[in-house]
Structure 1
Amino acid sequence: MRALLVVNPTATTTGPRTREVLVSALSAQLRDLEVAETTHRGHAIELGTRATREEFDVVVALGGDGTVNEVVNGMLADGPGERVPALGVVPGGSANVFIRALGAPRDAVDATGLLLEAIREGRRRTIGLGRVNDRWFIFCAGYGLDAAVVGRVEKARSRGRTATPGLYVRSAVTQYTGGTERRASNVELKIETPDPGQPEPSGRFGAVIVQNCSPWTYLGPRPVNPCPDASFETGLDLLAFRTLGVTTTLRTVWQALSPSPDPHGRKILRRHDLSGFVLRSDPPLAAQVDGDYLGELSEMRFTSVPAALRVVV
């Protein structure tokens, strides 16, 4: 089995010594293993592309969700197909939403043990992915407030801050109280294949959360679930805020954090299992995929792609 291990040397929760142990463990079982450390933003995309075009069997990403997203975008640069390697993940980030959504351990050592067992036994799971504009995403995307929070956190990290749950909470409160997102509802939503049993969305929205699986993210150990029915085996789910008023926002956050989440209310819209839709805003709004800030965009065109990726788990 030919494998490529993509290592993010700046991963939040794995130090050099831990990474050395994990690489040794993987090398012991994967005799034909190439190890590559990322050196710049987008490097994991380049490595993932090479892995597919050179017909590797497995690509293992050791890092956070951002590293995994880049690897997947590289692996699928030419689209899904039999030539695309299977993906393995060893978590090294602060949230590690993807690996936890798959039901795997968030501890890097435990996750490595499970990965090696899955490789020995030939276990694979095929999952659907989302695509927005020209970018693949694995578990979530956002337009508006949540993306602006991601942008604020990225700026803090560039100044040396660690991406902890506390940093995200403080950034969310600061962005909500001081940002411009809650003062206007400019987002137009157009569902490309409407469900005959559901009314066509009307009016405009202040922010939209998109999920490809459940949960949307984690607050420490606690899952946050705006769209609890989202699944790797179905299309995309969304939750759209008609307004970001204090009452609506706090109630929806509380519902999403509930042990039995079911966000609802007159000021929000939820849709399940969508194959495609478009979000537009004038002026442009902040956008993010898998916790990676994309800047401000005028349009986000979403498509669900079933059975797009094989995962070793």
Structure 2
Amino acid sequence: MRALLVVNPAATTTSARTRDVLIHALASEMKLEAVTTEYRGHGRDLGRQAAESSDIDLVVALGGDGTVNEVVNGLLHAGPDPDRLPRLAVVPGGSTNVFARALGLPNDAVEATGAVLDALRDKSERVVGLGLASGTPGTEDEAVPARWFTFNAGLGFDGGVVGRVEQQREMGKKSTHALYVRQVARQLFGEPNRRHGAITLERAGEEPVTGLVVSIVSNTAPWTYLGNRPMYASPKASFDTGLDVFGLTRLSMPAVARYGTQLLNSSPEHGPHGKHAVGLHDLDRFTLHSKAPLPLQMDGDHLGLRTSVTFTGVRRALRVIV
């Protein structure tokens, strides 16, 4: 087997020594080429090269969710074809690693490497569905390139939090769960649409959902982790179905207290609920519109401001080693 290992040297939870150990472990089981990313988007370029190659069977992403997202977008640049494209394996090296953990992999890089090697020996794999976000035809965002996401996306409040975190990281702050919590609080107090949301969800054959302040799109559950605590915005979301949406129409202090507590205590059986909460399950295609440009995030990556984004749930998009 020939494999490409994409290594993010800035991965927050692995040292250079640990990465060397993992590379040697993987190289002992396959013909491995290891490449260290050197710029933003490099993982996407490497994934695309692997997809266009005729002799690469496996791509291993060693890094956080951002690294995985780049590699996936490179692999799927010409569209999904799980029977032709190289398989994907993930070794978590970031601060949260939602995609890897949602697949059932250990959150420790060394243990996850062992699990991946065991899965390769056992020929254990699955085909997962992914989300695709694109500019909406007939709007000013029509020309925005489509982008795949593996576990979640968010327009509005969620995207604003991610944008604030990225600003802090550019200033030298480490990506920690405490940093995210602080930015959630700052985004909340700076949110101009706390009581009257500007987002509308439209889907064919259904009445639009209006007045959303929060719009979280999930491709799997959990939505994210706070430390080791999983948080389920859409408990029914799955790699085997379409996309789920969790929305809130109000972010008043009582609403924040209620739904924040529900998120902290959420489980695979119970997610946030109430008169200001909206939950939609297994959607194939829908559009989020905003009256004003709002921040968009996908897999924890801030993508700027958008007024309209169309989301598509693509079943059987990619073959993954688990």
Identity of aligned residues (%): 51
Flag structure 1 segments of 5+ consecutive residues without an equivalent. Answer: 195-199
Measure the CA separation in 2 of the matches of 1:152 and 1:181: 17
Measure the CA separation in 2 of the matches of 1:302 and 1:191: 10
In structure 2, the residue matched to 1:83 is 84
Residue 259 of structure 1: CA displacement? 4.6
| 8 Å CA contact 1:205, 1:243 repeated in 2 | yes
Q: How much is the aligned-residue C-alpha RMSD, in angstroms?
A: 1.2
Per-residue CA distance 1:57-94 (angstroms, 9 max, x = gap): 10000000000000000000001112211100000000
Measure the CA separation in 1 of the matches of 2:6 and 2:204: 37
Residue 253 of structure 1: CA displacement? 1.8
Q: Counterparts of 1:48-87 in structure 2 under 5 Å?
A: 48-55=47-54, 56-81=56-81, 82-87=83-88
Per-residue CA distance 1:217-239 (angstroms, 9 max, x = gap): 00000011111111111110001
Amino acid at match of 2:99: F
Measure the CA separation in 2 of the matches of 1:64 and 1:77: 20
Measure the CA separation in 1 of the matches of 2:195 and 2:16: 45
| 8 Å CA contact 2:128, 2:240 repeated in 1 | yes
| 8 Å CA contact 1:45, 1:70 repeated in 2 | yes
Residue 129 of structure 1: CA displacement? 0.4
Measure the CA separation in 1 of the matches of 2:23 and 2:110: 11
DSSP-derived class of the 2:61 partner: strand
DSSP-derived class of the 2:303 partner: strand
| 8 Å CA contact 2:287, 2:310 repeated in 1 | yes
Q: Work out the number of aligned pairs and report it.
A: 307
Residue 123 of structure 1: CA displacement? 1.1
Measure the CA separation in 2 of the matches of 1:300 and 1:276: 11
**Would you say 1:146 and 2:158 are equivalent positions?**
yes
Structure 1 range deviating more: 176-185 or 55-64: 176-185
Measure the CA separation in 2 of the matches of 1:143 and 1:219: 20
In structure 2, the residue matched to 1:197 is none
In structure 2, the residue matched to 1:40 is 39
Amino acid at match of 1:150: V
Flag structure 2 segments of 5+ consecutive residues without an equivalent. Answer: 135-145
Residue 181 of structure 1: CA displacement? 4.3
**TM-score (normalised: structure 1):** 0.95
In structure 1, the residue matched to 2:141 is none
Measure the CA separation in 1 of the matches of 2:316 and 2:265: 30
Measure the CA separation in 1 of the matches of 2:106 and 2:205: 37
**TM-score (normalised: structure 2):** 0.93
Q: Counterparts of 1:105-124 in structure 2 under 5 Å?
A: 105-124=106-125
